[in-house]
Amino acid sequence: MRIRVNGEPRDVPDGCTVAALVELCELRPEQVAVELNQRLVRRADRANVTLSEGDELELVTLVGGG
Amino acid sequence: MTDPLHDTTLKIGDVELRSRLLVGTGKYASFEETERALELSGTDCVTVAVRRVNLDASKGPSLLDHIDRSKYHVLPNTAGCFDAASAIRTAELARDVLDTPLVKLEVLGDKTTLLPDPIGTLEAAKELVSQGFHVMVYCSDDPRMCVHLAEAGVKSVMPAGSPIGSGQGVLNPNAIRIIQELVQGVPVIVDAGVGTASDVAAAMELGVEGVLLNTAVASAREPLRMAVAMKLACEAGRHAFLAGRIPKKLYANASSPLEGVIAGAGPA
């Protein structure tokens, strides 16, 4: 199914969870945070949240800043 | 007689900092330089920003790999947010990564000045406080605004000395002194605009509890040496403040005794 991740379209398997998406993107789960449709998905909940067609996700990390 | 080397720690919410210098992690040439600069600065508390992961990049080391959380408190900021809603979302995302209630709240007004938007800042501060965040809030040097923020329950008010990255130092020291006097119960930390070591010392001499800087070190010609300078300046200014300076007088006050001068010496 088609979702959007960080503003870009992406295809993921049906039934894909947030946790699975983080793994698909080859990210370290403890270094990122996830928003689904502008709401935080807590790290502990990622495996329980299944994505739907058209979902918009933000995958963020911490970078240098003042 | 008090110990001339003694100072209290800087308490912000549950966090206790030995160093009164807080340092940003932006604009350095490399992660290695960042790590070394933080070490030389003597800081206990470093800021980071929240940004989209680069999904295309090869999975190399990250900033977080270079910050030892057993040595530093990590203070995530909401830089890049121009309204309260995005600042609140950013704080929530950062808290999920770091598992800390600390957040440096920034709600900016425009890209050129990077001045804080006071309305959005206060709105976001109130909401984040109600969600249990320990908010350290970037604000202007308006004393009444600082009082509003303190009353909203933030853990620190952080007035700018001058615009972010501008290097102009503390442009309005009297405003900072007034803020220090009016704001009850929370530490005042000068954040933004510091250019060089004397700016840090001057800020600490005003009696503020700390200084937060980034560009002044990261963009100096020799960032590592400037980190050393800032560490010393922060300590110097703090000790000078605690020591109690002499007043400024119109006329002279001789340092050597007036009595016992030899024949022919002394005033006419």
Per-residue pLDDT tens digits for B16-25: 999 999 999 9
Read off the tokens for B123: 């709105």
For residue B133, pLDDT over 90 is answered with yes
The mean pLDDT value for B142-148 works out to: 97
Task: Give the per-residue pLDDT at B233.
Answer: 98
Closest residue to B97, CB basis, from A7, A32, A58: A32
Q: What integer best gives the mean pLDDT of chain A? A: 96
Q: What integer best gives the mean pLDDT of chain B? A: 96
Residue B194: band (very low, low, confident or very high) from pLDDT cuts 50, 70, 90: very high
Using left for φ > 0, alpha for ψ between -120 and 50, and beta otherwise, residue B118 falls in alpha
CA distance A12 to A19: 12
Task: Give the per-residue pLDDT at B111.
Answer: 92
Residue B258: band (very low, low, confident or very high) from pLDDT cuts 50, 70, 90: confident
Q: What percent of chain B has pLDDT over 70?
A: 99
Residue B166: band (very low, low, confident or very high) from pLDDT cuts 50, 70, 90: very high
Closest residue to A63, CB basis, from B63, B96, B215: B63
Which residue has 């001789």 as its token pair?
B254
Which residue has 């980190």 as its token pair?
B227
Q: ipTM of the assembly?
A: 0.97
Residue B76's DSSP bridge partners are B48
For residue B1, pLDDT over 90 is answered with no
Residue A63: band (very low, low, confident or very high) from pLDDT cuts 50, 70, 90: very high
Q: Which residue of A has its CA nearest to B93?
A: A33
For residues B258 and A9, the model is more confident at A9
Q: How many other CB atoms sit within 10 Å of the CB of residue B16?
A: 12
Q: Which of A37, A40, A63 to mutate to test the interface with B (most CBs of B within 10 A)?
A: A63
The mean pLDDT value for B70-97 works out to: 97
Q: Is A32 on the interface with B (CB under 8 A)?
A: yes
Size of the A and B interface in Cβ pairs below 8 Å: 102
Task: Give the per-residue pLDDT at B58.
Answer: 65
CB-CB neighbors (< 8 A) of B165 in chain A: 66
Closest residue to A65, CB basis, from B53, B77, B93: B77
Tell me the CA distances in angstroms from B214 to B119, B227, B234, one per residue in order: 25, 10, 14
For residue B105, pLDDT over 80 is answered with yes
Tens digits of residue pLDDT in A21-35: 999 999 999 999 999
E strand or H helix that includes residue A59: strand A56-64
